[in-house]
């Protein structure tokens, strides 16, 4: 299953294999497994013509926490165990490891949060569409499954602060990478996008002079770029990052320009869900998320799972 269902409605915003700042401010129902854990040629413009440049090598790590808004340490004495729920098959965020236990970015992040709060935790894998009902019926305490925050879900659960976002990005063939993309740079350029997606809506609103080509799915969209039928494609940057770095791309392509994170089109981000009114746990997780980021453990975890940054 490719890399944000809630984040699968965001998994194209999910597909995702989101006071917040992006780095440098651009930027499964029976349980399947349970584990004890302690704790993705510029156009000829009249005046400003960008230069074609190779894809930048350095990895960009997102940061979604404002160091000026340090959360106070909550009372953690009432927390004795946290039962995390996660999805069965959404690599690299959630999957079953070689030992049969839950693994992935979300699972490792849950482990780090448990270590910070100093409580015993369990991780149970379930089908994505059963997670909210399982939480509501007290079969778990928190969902960490790349679940996109939305008004519809906020009516059923409470969310922590986002721990990542699913940005949108342009990709091009490697011989036509642009370090920066603005609407005027894509005038008359052929841009591929998934029909009916938030990415298409964004292009129609912001890149009005580009020549849009709509495709029914990711496979046909990416094939169009490989074959040179379009100059750029625009979509979920996490999915694109894994495609670019995988064998399916044939090493054809790279990101052009930076991430687009406008919440009106691309959502509020990915959060950890808790039952409505469970402020004790929500605040504890927010505090632990900040601490894990502040100590550099979030960065280490991100670099372990994302060899090509979506940001």
Q: What is the tens place of the pLDDT at every residue in 263-276?
A: 899 988 999 999 99
Cα-Cα-Cα-Cα torsion 253, 12, 307, 84, nearest 10 degrees, comes to: -170
Tokens 């940001």 correspond to what residue? 311
pLDDT at 37: 35
- Percent of the chain whose predicted confidence (pLDDT) is above 90: 69
Q: Can you tell me the mean pLDDT for 295-303?
A: 92
Alpha helices (H) in 96-193, listed in sequence order:
105-117, 131-136, 151-154
Q: Which of 196, 172, 207 is nearest to 9 (CA)?
A: 196
Q: Looking at the predicted structure, is the pLDDT value of residue 60 above 70?
A: no
DSSP 12-75: SS---------GGGT-------EEEE--------SS--PPP-PPP-SPP------TTSPPPPP-
pLDDT tens-digit series, residues 158-206: 999 999 999 999 999 999 999 999 999 999 999 999 999 999 999 999 9
Least trusted range by pLDDT, from 6-10, 113-117, 165-169: 6-10
Q: Looking at the predicted structure, is the pLDDT value of residue 31 above 90?
A: no
Least trusted range by pLDDT, from 61-75, 108-122, 220-234, 287-301: 61-75
Beta strand pairing call for 81-87 and 120-126: parallel
Cα-Cα-Cα-Cα torsion 178, 181, 186, 187, nearest 10 degrees, comes to: -130
pLDDT tens-digit series, residues 152-162: 999 999 999 99
Q: Can you tell me the mean pLDDT for 81-99?
A: 95
Least trusted range by pLDDT, from 40-44, 56-60, 300-304: 40-44
pLDDT at 306: 84
DSSP state for residue 163 in the 8-state scheme:
S
Q: Looking at the predicted structure, is the pLDDT value of residue 35 above 60?
A: no
């Amino acid at each position: 299953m490719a890399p944000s269902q809630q984040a699968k409605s965001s998994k194209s915003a999910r597909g995702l294999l989101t006071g917040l700042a992006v780095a440098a401010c651009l930027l499964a129902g029976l349980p399947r497994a349970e584990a004890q854990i302690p704790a993705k040629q510029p156009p000829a413009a009249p005046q400003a013509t960008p230069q074609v440049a190779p894809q930048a090598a350095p990895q960009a790590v997102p940061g979604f926490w404002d160091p000026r808004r340090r959360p106070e340490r909550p009372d953690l004495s009432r927390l004795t165990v946290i039962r995390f729920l996660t999805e069965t098959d959404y690599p690299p965020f959630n999957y079953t490891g070689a030992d049969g236990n839950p693994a992935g970015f979300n699972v490792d992040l849950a482990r780090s949060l448990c270590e910070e709060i100093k409580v015993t935790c369990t991780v149970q894998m379930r089908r994505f569409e059963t997670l909210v009902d399982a939480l509501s019926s007290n079969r778990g305490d928190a969902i960490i499954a790349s679940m996109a925050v939305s008004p519809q879900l906020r009516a059923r659960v409470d969310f922590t602060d986002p721990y990542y976002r699913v940005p949108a990005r342009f990709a091009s063939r490697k011989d036509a990478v642009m370090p920066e993309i603005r609407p005027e740079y894509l005038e008359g350029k052929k841009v591929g996008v998934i029909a009916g997606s938030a990415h298409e809506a964004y292009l129609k609103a912001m890149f009005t002079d580009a020549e849009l080509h709509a495709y029914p799915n990711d496979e046909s969209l990416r094939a169009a770029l490989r074959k040179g039928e379009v100059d750029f494609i625009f979509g979920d940057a996490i999915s694109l990052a894994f495609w670019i770095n995988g064998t399916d791309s044939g090493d054809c392509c790279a990101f052009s320009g930076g991430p687009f994170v406008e919440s009106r089109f691309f959502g509020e981000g990915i959060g950890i869900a808790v039952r409505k009114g469970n402020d004790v746990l929500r605040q504890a997780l927010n505090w632990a998320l900040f601490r894990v980021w502040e100590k550099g453990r979030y960065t280490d975890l991100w670099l372990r799972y994302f060899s090509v940054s979506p940001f």
